[in-house]
């Protein structure tokens, strides 16, 4: 069964600290993997997209990595800001999109 699992479910960090969110998937065939950011009360917004051949992609302070062999991805946030408080959703494309349940990140001052 195609699945995307994210960890942790929720995370609290202090402003200025770094954090890493994890995504494991059992999806085949694999086309690409995206990370979305969803602010409270808003729709998800795409942060990064990686194809099978890419193993890292950056978007400002967000860096996503992909290990297609182990079927794992991570999203690293550097020097967190209060505006990073949101849910982060891992999405794997395999003919159709498979969504993870998301990690809820809270950045405290």
Three-state SS at 43: coil
17 binds other proteins (CB under 8 A): no
Among 36, 72, 37, residue whose Cα is nearest residue 56: 72
**Quick check: 15 and 106 in contact, CB under 8 A?**
no
**Quick check: 29 and 94 in contact, CB under 8 A?**
yes
Q: Choose between 18 and 46: whose C-beta lies nearer to other proteins.
A: 46
CB of 22 to other proteins, least distance (A): 15
Q: Map the footprint of other proteins across residues 73-102, applying CB under 8 A.
A: 89, 93, 95-102
Q: Map the footprint of other proteins across residues 23-42, applying CB under 8 A.
A: 31-32, 34, 41-42
CA–CA distances in Å: residue 49 to residues 16, 17, 30, 38: 25, 24, 13, 16
Q: Choose between 12 and 101: whose C-beta lies nearer to other proteins.
A: 101
CB of 98 to other proteins, least distance (A): 8
**Quick check: 94 and 27 in contact, CB under 8 A?**
yes
Binding site for other proteins (CB under 8 A): 4, 31-32, 34, 41-46, 49, 51, 89, 93, 95-102
């Amino acid at each position: 069964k195609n699945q995307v699992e994210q960890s942790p479910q929720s995370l609290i960090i202090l402003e200025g600290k770094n954090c890493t969110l994890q995504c494991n998937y059992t999806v085949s065939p694999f086309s690409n993997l995206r990370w979305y950011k969803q602010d409270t009360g808003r729709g998800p917004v795409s942060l990064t997209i990686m194809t099978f051949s890419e193993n890292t992609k950056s978007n400002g302070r967000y860096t996503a990595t992909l290990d297609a062999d182990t079927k794992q991805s991570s999203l690293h946030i550097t020097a967190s800001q209060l505006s990073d408080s949101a849910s982060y959703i891992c999405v794997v494309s395999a003919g159709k999109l498979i969504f993870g349940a998301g990690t809820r990140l809270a950045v405290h001052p």
